Amino acid sequence: MKIIIKRFFRRMWKIIIVTFWRYIVNPVSYSISGMRFMRHERAYRVELVCGILAWPICCYFFGFTWKLMVVTIEFMILLLTECLNTAIEAVVDYVAKNKKFYLAKKSKDIASAAVSIALFNICTTMIFLIFFQITGK
């Protein structure tokens, strides 16, 4: 009976370790690899620096309220959109290398438009928040 329990717990431990490695460690390492790649992208670095510089200014004007949370979420959406834009451009460049495809240009332009929409979203949100801060509403 003792041996059966020992084998059972040994197998369960192996299953737990394999599951942990497969579903936690591997995805996290892939994400870190993607973040390391994104630090070489100029547009991502510019947006990240602007967000880091804007955050203390927003803390000063808005305080730690829901407005700061909205600004932080907006910048995270912008960085997410930039990551997706870079991924789409990399795939299109890989598939359509040395050839001019209309759909390749179209997909890259649409991905770039998504980043522009996210930037516009941040600008309008900041304008509304500043307006509400000034008027006191």
pLDDT digits (tens, 9 = 90+) for 91-111: 998 888 877 788 888 999 999
Q: Tell me the pLDDT tens digit for each residue of 11-39.
A: 777 777 777 777 777 888 888 898 899 98
- Evaluated on CA atoms 72, 74, 80, 86, the torsion sign reads negative
0.75 surpassed by pTM: yes
DSSP letter (8 states) at residue 40: T
Residues 127, 114: Cα–Cα separation, whole Å: 20
> Is the Cβ–Cβ distance between 85 and 42 less than 8 Å?
no
- Evaluated on CA atoms 98, 31, 37, 124, the torsion sign reads positive
> Is the Cβ–Cβ distance between 66 and 25 less than 8 Å?
no
